[in-house]
Chain A
Amino acid sequence: MFFDKYIVPVLIILAVAALFAFLLAFLGEKLKVEKDPIIDQIRENLCGANCGGCGYAGCDGFAQALYEGKADINKCNPTSVENKQKIAQLLGKVVEIDEPTVAVVHCNGVNSKIKANYVGYKDCKAAASVGGGRACSTACLGYGSCKSVCTQDAISIVNGVSVIDKTKCGSCGSCINECPYALIGRVPKSAKVYVACSNKCKGKEVIAACQNGCIACGLCEKNCPSGAITLKGNLAQIDYAKCNGCMVCVSKCPKKCIKEL
């Protein structure tokens, strides 16, 4: 009775468990896909955000592509410079590492004039497809399409305008692709200032449309000691190779559209 009730079930299960465990472990070894351990080392050096900015299926895919020599390490913005150099070492290559960048929204159109009331799905692309409704043709609409694609939670909507936190931004580029007016661009991470406007219209039209728009007055260009900021197409632009971060332009701009990063 004891044998039937206790020993037999235990023996049966023991046999089944042992058989299955053996099968799993044995076949697992036999059918294993060989993977060069370097791939794992490369993967460990990557930032690991899985943002997809490199164009590959996550960091695993990127590591594989790097190993196979198909990918350029500079494609990955979030990974730090020293880690990129370590990866270059692992691959046995000499790679020139670009300077790290962050994304900024080239618009500070708080209270930009509304030409038409947009009633519809609160998404920037949807609004832009029917004209956006603002007097400025490159006004940030503030519906947060960029925010919704950011995997690092770096974007927030402040006073109706999108703002990117440079400490969280990995420069993956998802928001850059998402903005319907292409307001987001990359600047070097070490940059001190950026132009918070993208409007290329003449000053008079800009004043009518927004109180923070660049009117191309040229005060920044005249006062920049290193000649880093110039006017092109009624819009100020900064050459970061020349910018030394003195921030004279920020104080001189009458419209306050050059902002500290």
Chain B
Amino acid sequence: MTTATKNTVKSVIVLSLISVICVGLLAMANGIFPKPDTSAKLDTKTVALLNEICYSESYDIAYGTYDEFVTSFNDKNGTNYKYINALYRATGDTNHGRLIVEAVGNGYQNGTVTVLVAYNIDKTIMAVELKSYDKAKNNYMGGNLVSSGALDAVFENLKGSSGNVGSGKDLMVGTGATNSLNGVANAINFANKFIESVDESALPPIVVQPLESAPIVRYAKDIELLGGQHE
């Protein structure tokens, strides 16, 4: 074997070995590190927003991002920028059983917009609230829509509607940031689509819990973790 061939073989072996060992280590580390928690949470901010549109003394998450119902719906109908985050449920005496969908839609340059849509029994929109939006990409939202109150006007108009709400242009009362409104429209349309597929009788039973004590959050994943505890 000439030196040249020996060098080639040595190069191949050494680089392959280094790469394999490194990748093996990384694959193991991937298993060890816990996944970052990107799931929908029933945090106080969300509860405050829920209170705006569908007041109740308490809420639970009927379906979260770990529930197969949501993930399969997202896989079939959603994209990277358009998906359902959670289905909340009012569990207090007021608005008992009302459903609120948290949906994410894509707006300008695929910056995401997250909305909460509360529904009446007949699946028409009860109220809409903006939860968050990508400040960098949809920067018109803050100035033109949110602080000017234009977005609130839009949401007022939507009350009682059902079915496709159109696009940003259709939603807008007057002129404004129609591109960012596309995100809102996309999210609401997707939420409407989702609520059509929800069968209320199939939902897990309500457990009324005040928010102060630790809420039993209904992730399918959590039910496993709690050792099959169903209450």
Q: Which residues of B contact A57 (CB under 8 A)?
A: none
B1 an interface residue at 8 Å Cβ cutoff? no
Which A2-28 residues have C-beta < 8 A from chain B? Answer: 5-6, 9-10, 13-14, 16-18, 20-22, 24-26
Q: How far is the CA of A13 from the CA of B25 in the complex (A)?
A: 13
B7:A22 contact, CB within 8 angstroms? no
A10's partner among B7, B20, B30, B31 (CB-CB below 8 A) is: B20
Residue from B7, B16, B26 within 8 A of A18 (CB atoms): B16
Would B27 and A10 count as touching, CB distance under 8 A? Answer: yes
Instruction: Report the separation of the CA atoms of residues A16 and B26 in the bound assembly, to the nearest whole angstrom.
Output: 17
Find chain B residues with CB under 8 A from A25 CB: 7-8, 11-12
Question: Interface residues of A, CB < 8 Å — how many?
Answer: 16
Number of interface residues of B (CB under 8 A): 19
User: Shortest Cβ distance from B44 into chain A, in angstroms?
Assistant: 37
Are A22's CB and B11's CB within 8 A? yes
Interface residue SS majority, chain B: helix
Asked whether A29 lies within 8 Å of B7 as measured between CB atoms, the reply is yes
Chain B residue contacts of A14, Cβ below 8 A = 16, 19-20, 23
Taking the closest CB of chain A, its distance from the CB of B226, in whole angstroms, is 23
The interface residues of chain B lying within 8 Å CB-to-CB of A20 are 15
A25 to B27, CA, bound (A): 28
Known: A5-B31, A29-B4, A29-B8. A21 touches B23 (CB 8 A): no
Per the 8 Å Cβ criterion, residues 45-82 of A in contact with B are none
Q: Which residues of A contact B4 (CB under 8 A)?
A: 29
Q: How far is the CA of A14 from the CA of B91 in the complex (A)?
A: 54
Give Cα A29–Cα B9 distance, bound, in whole angstroms.
12
Q: Does B198 belong to the interface (CB within 8 Å)?
A: no
B24 within 8 A of A: yes
A190 CB, nearest partner CB in chain B, Å: 47
Q: List chain B residues, Cβ under 8 A from A24.
A: 11
Q: How far is the CB of A10 from chain B (nearest CB, A)?
A: 5
Nearest CB of A to B169, in Å:
44
Partner of B12, one of A10, A13, A22: A22
Name A13's contact: one of B11, B14, B23 (CB within 8 Å).
Answer: B23
> Is the CB–CB distance between B12 and A6 below 8 Å?
no
**How near does chain B come to A52, taking the closest CB pair, in angstroms?**
34
How far is A13 from B28 in the complex, measured between Cα atoms in Å? Answer: 15
Among residues of A, the one whose C-beta sits closest to the C-beta of B6 is A25
Q: Scoring A residues 28 to 47 as 1 if CB is less than 8 Å from chain B, else 0, what string do you get?
A: 01000000000000000000
Name 13 interchain pairs, CB-CB below 8 A, sorted by A: A6-B28, A10-B20, A10-B23, A10-B24, A13-B20, A13-B22, A17-B19, A20-B15, A21-B15, A22-B8, A25-B7, A25-B8, A25-B12
